[in-house]
Amino acid sequence: MEELSELKLKLKNLNAEYARIREIAPEKRGEFGRELNAKKMAILEQIRLAEEAAMDVEVLPLDITAPCAANEKMPELYSCLMGSRHPLMVEMDRVVEIYQLMGFDVVESRQLDDEYHMFDSLNFAKEHPARDGYDTFRTEEGLIPPAHTSTMQHRVLKMYKDRLARGEDIAVVVPGRVYRNEDVNATHEHTFYQCEGVYVSESCTMGDMLGILREFFEKYYEQKLNIRTQPGYFPFTEPSLEFMIEKPKTLGGKKGDYLEMLGCGMIHPNVLKMAGIDPTKSHGFAWGGGIDRLVMLRYGLNDMRYFESGNLNFLREFK
Amino acid sequence: MKISLNWLKKFVRINVPDDELVRLIGARLVEVEGVIDESTKYNNIYVVRVATAERIPDTHLTLCQIDCGNVEVAGVEKNDEGLIQVVCGAPNVREGMLAAWIAPGAIVPASVHEDAPFVIGKRKMLSKYESNGMLAGADELDFGDDHSGITEIDPAMAKPGDLLADVFELCDLILDIENKSLTHRPDCFGMIGFAREVAGILGETFTETEYFQKTKAIYGSENSISVSIAGKDICSRYSAIVLTKHGEMKKKYLTYMDTILSKSGMRPVDAIVDVTNYLMLLTGQPLHAFDYDKFVAVGGSDKPKIIVRLARAGEKLELLDGKEITLLENDIVITSNDVPVALAGAMGGKNTEIDENTRNIIIESATFSLYNLRKTQMEHGIFSEAITRFTKGQPPYQTLDVAEDAAAMLSDGFKVTAVADEYPHPEKEITVKILVAEINQLLGTEYADKLIIQTLENVGFGVKNHRGELTISVPAWRKDIHIKEDIIEEIGRLLGYDNIQPTLPRHMTANKNKMMILKSDIRETMKEFGANEVLTYSFVSERLLKKAGLDANNSYKIVNSISPELQLVRQTIVPSLLEKAYVNQKMPIDKFALFEINKVYRKEWGMDGENVPVEKMQMGFVVAERKNNETAYYKAKKFAEELLLKFNIPVEFLPIKGKNADNLPFEEKRAAEIWSGEHYIGVVGEFKNSVKRNFKLAEFLAGFELDVDKILELLAPRKINNNFEIREKLDETVTTTGSYAEALAEMTKKYPNAEITPVGIYQPEDVKARNITFHIELMV
């Protein structure tokens, strides 16, 4: 309390100092004002902290080991009817489970990474315009909240490359949260989820990649699907493709209504080499696509912004 | 980028219907964002001859009788001589000329994409002259912005009564191409390159037609222009041709070139600029024209001395659009004897702009470092057709050819008097060796040698086959082909990925991810407990951290955040939940419990072995009610205890010692650290009064923050108690001034083989001691 009244006195004195501005030479008044303002801001901050501390002084301690307070009922959990899991997380689990049944291990993606994993290790040339396409955020240290789950590709390849020596294949999926510096609207979020897939073996083919992807989408949407591809460009795959499915009739699709679901391709030999895998002996494929879109299509949702809204009226729909 | 299908068809024989062609282009070359249908845009517009033209006195109008051949238009009467009357306001209308006539009932082409297209009618002018339709200018026909007069048509191309659309091939489909999907294909940013690919995907051999005339320009004797490139890797080749005026350029008639510029999204401007733009659309190579005399004057030399160099910081340049920019050290500039006259690849300078008095011009055809230009583009915000092409990395092989083509196209009015071509390190031909078997192996196909070779040759590769080993020479325009995989991509793409049979590789057994399973179990358990899972952003504001009592300096800071609300990487989950608790309490929802499991980062944790920030998986939980007078602490503790019990982790609740990011929002007198043996798991409790006030939340409020990595480390399978036969049940009350934990410990000591649960705690008014009642079940 004493501290607070001292601070308030200080503030009063400081306010009085402003009057001195008339005695200061006009060209120095700006500097004078700035210094005074800085001091004032500092004191105001100290006052805020002191006031907050004062609010907490009166608080009574309690027995932290007890199950309840004296003369109160034993606390109870809420009814399970109120509970809900987040649809994105439930669906992410489903996605992962489908891949697990197909023989894929799971490694979760990081949420703060560096330029090396996000770009360099994926065969992006330094300063290449292709890096612009990802609209990445950066921290003061130059770290990157990843813009794609491919940020884990190099790590996964290194982590699993011993399998190749044992005559086994690498098959891993990487779910994770990714970030892009984008304006938010019904179909764009700066924060969303992706799932990456990586497969490396001595003999895998692009046909295998298309087969795995078709299998996945048919299991996820629980029906036969028409698939289509178109050429794409990613520095870390060669050849590169965009993978599309025809929107199923049961989900309101019309014939010829193709949706881009993910980017994919055969892993670029430079990416394998950088991870210590001999591209003349092994090759592989990789893909990555958004989970949010997948889920929106499944549930017929039309606005991505609900996912991170924390709105219980929305979330409690997902028991 | 816009591609006219009619123009495309000039270069390649197309043997499939248009919709199939569009599908194939999408499936095998590039993303087609949309198709603009212009097949009816020029309906009912005819070529006519102005038979008579009489000025209407005291007006700017001319009364014309036009000859439209055999065309009959409903509701339009012809006079005895078979002519139709039209009033025209253009100054250039004259007897004998061929013009474009928009018949009554037709839509003005420039307005077809507007909400309310403008339909031409029949009207009376000056209340006595009937005017049927209109004679159209370039702006109305959507061939530019010229409104100075009506468009004149070359009698060598058309006769009265011809449909304008037939003469200029205007019944067209325009493809809208997603540029991003061609980032690596500078060659496809010109019609020739695009057509070559289309030939390839249709299985046709592409031949460069004579349409692209490589007529060598005739050089004058005074070879007096010099080019030097000062700086490594900024400009791989710089070709320049000097043209001198020897006659008037005849820009009298509407040309096919005008229609191509318009369909490609550009605008006809003047004869010289149009030629440079047209050739860029054709070849992908941007050109620039300088006024020769201004160029020399600016540099103060007697002959043009072109120096390409990096800009010096602070140098200024006024661009063609009238803006003065301050150059940056990364920018490449074209200088006249060291004085900047153009921002290379981006825009020319005002000081060398060509105008109607220009006598001599310099045509520049060059390639610049895409890395420098990319920065220039971003820094100065210039997104022209030219820089779009340069930043894809145009190859240097054709600069001189294209400049010569420009000279040939301008030969009506200009002759070549000098040429310079600085190409210090000519590019070497690249060859790639690959086995046919390798191609089929990677794609999972069985394509025959012959088919593979033909497919490559169709798009300009040279192929030598030696028993299945192909030696492939890469054409100069393919800057993207270096390795085997690039060739495999060509084959897969040109023959259609859709033709590859999907297969499944051998199946393996996957290992479970324990963290994913744990999180899934937590989620399921919390749902059973009636809590709601939320997801909140990983980025928070400094304000939010302050409101929760956290130190913003412990957060990684985003330098290019969308807003201050999303500037700091969060250190814990709970503050984000407090924010969402407010949203829901306000709705109002009377009681709820929110939780989230996600990754957090703190600067104080430093870097891990990979030199990236240490990350932790944490769980946050907040319970909030509007109408509850009881002690919220015990509610949160109940959730935490029950959750950890599910994973068989025995815990103790100990006083908070020392401050950390986890416990900063919590009131230390009403919060506890959660420990299991020597392992810290997290913190549970009520929040500081200041935090409650800052988040505007009702009194009943508590939460916890748990270390999920630690839970994973400690979780144990549930042990089934074999000793479950109950011998005796009893209740016992202890009166104590000590803590509940102490009382419980005493009970446990007294009844070692028993299950002890609390029943209630009672404290009479004005008495210090509490009565704690336990229920005890003694086991056999």
Asked if residue A240 and residue A199 are part of one domain, the reply reads: yes
Is B486's Cβ below 8 Å from some Cβ in A? yes
- Nearest partner of B532 among A236, A311, A102, judged by Cα: A311
Which one of A63, A88, A215 would you mutate to disrupt binding with B, by most B Cβ within 10 Å of its Cβ?
A63
Displacement of CA B325 from its chain's centroid (Å): 26
B111, B114, B116, B118: CA torsion to nearest 10: 0
Query: Measuring CA to CA, which residue among A45, A57, A49 is closest to residue A11?
Result: A45
Q: pLDDT at residue B287 above 60?
A: yes
Is B661 in contact with B683 (CB distance < 8 Å)? no
Are residues A190 and B637, on separate chains, in Cβ contact within 8 Å? no
Indicate if A19 and A122 belong to the same structural domain. no
Q: B23-27, long-range: CB within 8 Å, 24+ apart, which pairs?
A: B24/B201, B24/B202, B24/B496, B25/B175, B25/B198, B25/B201, B26/A230, B27/A228, B27/A229, B27/A230, B27/A231, B27/B496, B27/B497, B27/B498
Residues A271 and A142 in one domain: yes
Instruction: Give the span between the Cα atoms of B150 and B66, in whole angstroms.
Output: 14
Contact A65 B739 (CB under 8 A): yes
Closest Cβ–Cβ partner in A61, A206, A230 for B444: A206
Query: Residue B658 has what pLDDT?
Result: 92
Find the CB nearest B523 among A85, A208, A309: A85
Q: What average pLDDT does range B549-576 have in this prediction?
A: 95
Per-residue b or e along A197-234, where b marks 16 or more CB atoms closer than 10 Å to that residue's CB:
bbbbbeebbbbbbbbbbbbbbebbbeeebebbbbbbbb
The reply to whether A96 and A43 lie within a common domain is no
Contacts of B504 in chain A (CB under 8 A): 208, 211-212, 215
Q: ipTM of the assembly?
A: 0.91
Within a domain: A77: no
Examine the domain organization and report whether A223 and A302 are in the same domain: yes
A117 touches chain B (CB under 8 A): yes
Residue B126 contacts A, CB cutoff 8 Å: no
Cβ atoms of residues A188 and A243 within 8 Å: no
Rounded mean pLDDT of B760-780? 92
Share of chain B above pLDDT 90, in %: 79
Rounded to the nearest integer, the mean pLDDT of chain B is 92
Among residues B652, B664, B661, B667, which one has the least CA distance to residue B744?
A: B652
Give the span between the Cα atoms of B190 and B11, in whole angstroms: 12
Q: Inform me whether the pLDDT recorded for B125 exceeds 80.
A: no
Q: Is residue A66 part of a domain?
A: no
Rounded mean pLDDT, B244-248: 85
Residue that has been written with the tokens 């294949």 in this structure: A169
Domain count, chain A: 2
Residues A166 and A26 both lie in one domain: no
Question: How far is A104 from chain B, CA to nearest CA, in Å?
Answer: 5
Residues A48 and A111 in one domain: no
Q: What are phi and psi of B334, to 5 degrees?
A: -95, 130
Domains annotated for chain B, with CATH where assigned, are 2-38+173-201 (3.30.56.10), 45-167 (2.40.50.140), 226-422 (3.50.40.10), 430-499 (3.30.56.10), 514-714 (3.30.930.10), 726-779 (3.30.1660)
pLDDT tens digit sequence for B672-716: 999 999 999 999 999 999 999 999 999 999 999 999 999 999 998
Contacts of B693 in chain A (CB under 8 A): 55
3-state secondary structure B552-596: HHHCCEECCCCCHHHCEECCCCHHHHHHHHHHHHHCCCCEEEEEE
Kindly tell me the burial class for residue B715, based on how many C-beta atoms sit within 10 Å of its own C-beta (0-12, 13-18, 19 or more): middle
Do the domain assignments include residue A79? no
Average of pLDDT values for A138-145?
Answer: 95
Nearest CA in chain A to B483: A269
Q: What is the mean pLDDT of residues A36-52?
A: 84
Q: What is the pLDDT of residue B654?
A: 97
**Whether residue A40 sits in one domain with residue A184:** no
- Whether residue A72 is contained in a domain is answered as no
Q: B770 pLDDT band (50/70/90 cuts)?
A: very high
Domain limits at A215? 87-315
Is A43 found in the same domain as A116? no
In a domain, A65, yes or no: no
Pairwise CB contact (< 8 Å): A242 & B580: no
pLDDT over 70 percentage in chain A: 99
pLDDT the model gives residue A45 = 84
pTM: 0.85
Please report the number of interchain residue pairs, chain A to chain B, with beta-carbon separation below 8 angstroms: 355
User: Do residues A201 and A239 share a domain?
Assistant: yes
CATH number for position A264: 3.30.930.10
Do A135 and A203 fall into the same domain?
Answer: yes
In this prediction, residue B224 has a pLDDT band, given cuts at 50, 70 and 90, of: confident
- Per residue in A175-220, pLDDT tens? 999 999 988 888 899 999 999 999 999 999 999 999 999 999 999 9
What pLDDT score was predicted for residue B250?
67
Q: What is the model's pLDDT at position B211?
A: 46
Asked if residue A67 is part of any domain, the answer here is no
